[in-house]
Amino acid sequence: MSDNADAECFSQNELVAPSWLKVEFIEEVLRSNKEDPELKVTDLNITPATLEGDHCASVMFRTTAEYTTAMGTFSTSLIVKTIPDQEEHTNDMFSNSRLFSTEIGMYSKVLPEFEKILREAGDSTKLYVPCLYYSFEPRQVLIFEDLVPQGYTVIRNRPVTPVEEKAVFTKLAKWHAVSMKVINEQPDFLKDFQYGLIEMPNFLTGHLMITGMENFVEMLSVIPELTKYKAFFSKIQDTNLSRMAEVMQEFRKNRQPDGHYVLSHGDFHIRNMMFKTNKNSGTFEDVMFVDFQVSNVSPSSVDLIYAIYRVLEPEHRCQLGKDAVNKYYSVLVDTLHKIGYKGELPTLDGLWQRIHYHKYYGFFLMSTFLPLLLAVKANAFKMAELAQNNDNRKKSYFLEGYLDEIKKLLPKFEELGYFNDI
């Protein structure tokens, strides 16, 4: 896979609405949803619902529709999620993947069942935004209520607050707890959710993945206070991707007796969350998770380690999210008790042992994703510039913010014994 192929994930496709997204299509959707065959769309405004580079395997558009019924004139805002240019590019690398079938299954089957279990236990936590419409043919489409008019926003240019961080790990713990109950009591219920991010087309063969550890080792060789770590990472340079894959596929291929398996979100980063704050008081009210295209049964550490690198701020990341993970554990166990979980309860020590055991997944995120994310956050590069050019990617490893974190993370790993058996 070439650098140009990597860049397909960050193309202009996500900024240009597909040709079929027009009045007639939205009118048909609204007529079905409102159960009103006489409904008439009188005006339609379409804009991108995300910024360039926010999503890789899909595109999203905000459609604001004015419509009339026998009851009067109304307006609604919908989010349309689809695969880019399906009609123009039939060989799109995501068009034949499991991504949309997974997400449709999540919205139509899994998440409603999870919420039902919470409701029966007296917990009103909302796990998902309603899906108003979905289809596989003639095109793959999902349509949701727009959360923005309800006060939800995506965090972009500011740190996550302690209250928001707590809410993220609290809701994740409840989700994971319910999934543990389902896996324990209904083992076939999640049989279709075995494939995650690792199974995305070209995930392991793209230059973004292949060059990550190579660039990381090159950086270690020229930063004096980090050179002692080069020997460790040189040993795993050619195998780290396969070891990372083993972590993500553990439930399916190498289930462990002491494993802590859940239905993971699978792509648990800050742009896949929307946060709601009260307009009047300014107090935080809710976080909503979105984008379930790679949700799959895997170790709980997959979501937790991912969140350490893609949700937490640097000062918390360098402690491996100790406070956040401990909070997650307390809510997890509390929820397991409330919902009547009959399996063996996890221990906090056991949870941390699994996080440490899955260190190669953390190495992958630290060496491959983190430098790119911090470079974009610092406005040093756009994601497309990093995707298209490995020289730019190499430069991201030498940016001050990334080096500062690595100088704290690697001694932490050394203290935990991560390098003892490499």
The residue among 353, 391, 367 whose CA lies nearest residue 233 is 367
pLDDT reported for residue 127: 97
Four-CA torsion 75, 112, 347, 245, nearest 10 degrees: -80
Q: Token pair for residue 91?
A: 């060989």
Peptide bond into 257 cis (omega under 30): no
pLDDT reported for residue 411: 97
The residue among 380, 410, 421 whose CA lies nearest residue 219 is 410
pLDDT reported for residue 13: 57
How far apart (Å, rounded) are the C-alpha atoms in residues 234 and 393? Answer: 19
Number of other CB atoms surrounding residue 99 within 10 Å: 23
How far apart (Å, rounded) are the C-alpha atoms in residues 230 and 216? Answer: 9
Q: Token pair for residue 260?
A: 């802590």
Angle between helices 348-357 and 300-310 (to 10 degrees): 70
pLDDT per residue, tens digit, the chain (422 aa), is: 334 434 445 445 567 888 999 999 999 999 999 999 999 999 999 999 876 555 566 789 999 999 999 999 999 999 999 987 644 444 444 555 688 899 999 999 999 999 999 999 999 999 999 999 999 888 899 999 999 999 999 998 899 999 999 999 999 999 999 999 999 999 999 999 998 888 877 777 788 889 999 999 999 999 999 999 999 999 999 999 999 999 999 999 999 998 899 999 999 999 999 999 998 898 999 999 999 999 999 999 999 999 999 999 999 999 999 999 999 999 999 999 999 999 999 999 999 999 999 999 999 999 999 999 999 999 999 988 998 899 999 999 999 999 999 999 999 999 999 999 88
The residue among 152, 372, 159, 131 whose CA lies nearest residue 273 is 152
